[in-house]
Structure 1
Amino acid sequence: MSSQLPIPVLVNGAAGKMGREVVKAIAQQQDMTLLGAVDRNPAHDGQDAGELAGIGPLEVPITNQFEPMLAMLAQEKQLGVMVDFTHPDSVYDNIRSAIAYGIRPVVGTTGLSPQQINELADFADKASTGCLMVPNFSIGMVLLQQAAVQASQYFDHVEIIELHHNQKADAPSGTALQTAQLLAEFGKSFNPPTVQETEKLPGARGSLADADIRIHSVRLPGLIAHQEVIFGAPGQIYTLRHDTSDRSCYMPGVLLAIRKVTQLKALVYGLEKIL
């Protein structure tokens, strides 16, 4: 198998906002080739993926035939990669199908339960097939999470606010959940109660994640993806915030994941694991 061959990539969810950015990014790489584009929206069936992404024709038509495209990708001489930006309802089956065909999944779709992720990890391990699940492909978000972990050693009170566009199907975001998990890894419990709270409206205090960390979700048109981690102590507030103004900020992380996943033999969760 020649390492000089470009990595063949299938983009699943190619007509979505993230999918179009991925198509555009892959088309600009010398070491990758867009082999296929899948989307279940019938309005885009047969449309050229490049034209839809705004970069001109790539002669890769969008299709809703997911498994036939996996089968075609599996016939390539070079290890194939599936990039998935679809929907929480379908992503579990998408990943299982890709691994079954020997295709390496790079997954930006969130909303899977911990049990589902563990099942996929077992499946990938048995198949010795690399899989990268990344709640957030932004390098800035990785840096925010690292700073939050550092700050958590000095603060006992913290809450997370995540804000996304109103087309996002899952809440809280996978990034917010991952941030809470990272803060909880040291075994510390946050936010010791100082008063008996009463919620006059259920959910007013947000959802309760690991280590008693509250997560609050906002969904509004005009937003893309934003997150605040707010630490509090007597006399001071320490706020970490990351704002996304354009989805192109995720592409360096996506391209890195495509290159790295072919070297893996198991499921890896989080962009920070491959940086």
Structure 2
Amino acid sequence: MTKVIVAGFTGSMGDKAVHLIADTAGFELTAVFAPNLASTNPADYGLAADVQVFQSLAEINTDAEIWIDFTLPSAVYANTKFAIEHDISPVIGTTGLTDSQVAELQKSAAEKKLGGIIAPNFGMSAVLLMKFAKEAAQYFPDVEIIEMHHDHKKDAPSGTALSTAKMINEVREPHQQGNPEETETLANVRGGDYHGIHIHSVRLPGYVAHEQVLFGGVGEALTIRQDSFDRGSFMSGVEVALTKVKKINELVVGLENVL
């Protein structure tokens, strides 16, 4: 039985992860973690009596083998570092890690030969969107990204949109896109700029997670879109990560790299 700790268990994604573990053969929830809890009694959260409840990293003392993280961008680096330092394989669904932080964490995991997965998105449709967008960018180098999320999302752009731009940038010929004499009469109206790829973030109630990648060519256009209507859709990817993470010996970025 593989033991798991869920960080951010009181959030919507963390709660679904807790239920996923309960429903998945071969895995056992041994601990949960979230800051500023009103109680550390597992019964208050509908958890089994033997599940440890922690509210600070300093308190955590667990025999968990896998750390699932659905917390906040401000906390994810410290959480992932803690997991690696304590030989717990991290499965990270929280966005907000910088490239330098990822590189540092990968180095630490490599030194321990510890497997881990950082997934900008656990939705299979989003993983496929990124894969298809990278392929399309070889033929359509002019591209923009629109990502749409609920109005409580903490970071912008989304980790999925930024990862999509990075994957496209790997195969896209660097070039000036759009009118070189363009003037913004409203600041930032053209969105963020990642190596010439514009990313636009929409935040509205009623949305969950959605992304469009728009490619333009002479006389034609291509749009790739994915929609996540329910957070439960992400759990299929989390389950894949749970089954794969102990079979690798490095910290991998992108669920597509363990499929």
Q: TM-score, normalised by structure 1?
A: 0.88
Question: Counterpart of 1:237 in structure 2: which amino acid?
Answer: A
Task: Give the equivalent residue in structure 1 for 2:190.
Answer: 205
Of residues 119-128 and 187-196 in structure 1, the stretch that sits farther from structure 2 once superposed is 187-196
Task: Please say if 1:219 is aligned against 2:203.
Answer: yes
1:238 maps to which of 219, 222, 247: 222
Structure 2: which 5+ residue stretches go unaligned?
none
**How do 1:1-275 and structure 2 match up within 5 A?**
6-43=1-38, 45-48=40-43, 51=46, 57-59=47-49, 60=51, 62-69=53-60, 71-73=61-63, 80-189=65-174, 192-210=177-195, 212-275=196-259
Residues matched between the structures, number: 258
Q: Is the 8 A contact 1:106 1:134 kept in 2?
A: yes
CA separation of 1:226 and 1:41: change in aligned 2, threshold 3 A: farther
Partner of 1:88: helix, strand, or coil?
coil
**For residues 70-96 of structure 1, what are the alpha-carbon distances to aligned partners after superposition, in whole Å with 9 as ceiling and x for unaligned?**
x3225xxxxx00000101111111111
Of residues 240-249 and 38-47 in structure 1, the stretch that sits farther from structure 2 once superposed is 38-47
Deviation at 1:184, TM superposition (A): 1.0
- Alpha-carbon distance in 1 for matches of 2:122, 2:148: 16
Question: Counterpart of 2:55 in structure 1: which amino acid?
Answer: N
**For residues 19-62 of structure 1, what are the alpha-carbon distances to aligned partners after superposition, in whole Å with 9 as ceiling and x for unaligned?**
001001110011100001111142464354763xxxxx533364
- Alpha-carbon distance in 2 for matches of 1:50, 1:191: 53
Q: Is the 8 A contact 1:8 1:33 kept in 2?
A: yes
Q: Is the 8 A contact 1:162 1:216 kept in 2?
A: yes
Question: Counterpart of 2:69 in structure 1: which amino acid?
Answer: D
Deviation at 1:226, TM superposition (A): 0.6
Question: Counterpart of 1:214 in structure 2: which amino acid?
Answer: H
Deviation at 1:252, TM superposition (A): 1.3
**For residues 184-208 of structure 1, what are the alpha-carbon distances to aligned partners after superposition, in whole Å with 9 as ceiling and x for unaligned?**
1125125533341111222110001
Q: Is the 8 A contact 2:42 2:48 kept in 1?
A: no
Of residues 100-109 and 180-189 in structure 1, the stretch that sits farther from structure 2 once superposed is 180-189
Task: Give the equivalent residue in structure 2 for 1:54.
Answer: none
Partner of 1:42: helix, strand, or coil?
coil
- Alpha-carbon distance in 2 for matches of 1:58, 1:47: 6
Structure 1: which 5+ residue stretches go unaligned?
1-5, 52-56, 75-79
**TM superposition outliers: structure 1 runs of 4+ over 6 Å:** none
**For residues 164-194 of structure 1, what are the alpha-carbon distances to aligned partners after superposition, in whole Å with 9 as ceiling and x for unaligned?**
1122111111111110111111251255333
- Alpha-carbon distance in 2 for matches of 1:49, 1:147: 44
Deviation at 1:151, TM superposition (A): 1.6
Q: Is the 8 A contact 2:137 2:172 kept in 1?
A: no
Deviation at 1:134, TM superposition (A): 0.4
Q: Is the 8 A contact 1:27 1:34 kept in 2?
A: yes
- Alpha-carbon distance in 2 for matches of 1:148, 1:123: 31
CA separation of 1:67 and 1:257: change in aligned 2, threshold 3 A: farther
Q: Is the 8 A contact 1:37 1:49 kept in 2?
A: no
Partner of 2:35: helix, strand, or coil?
coil
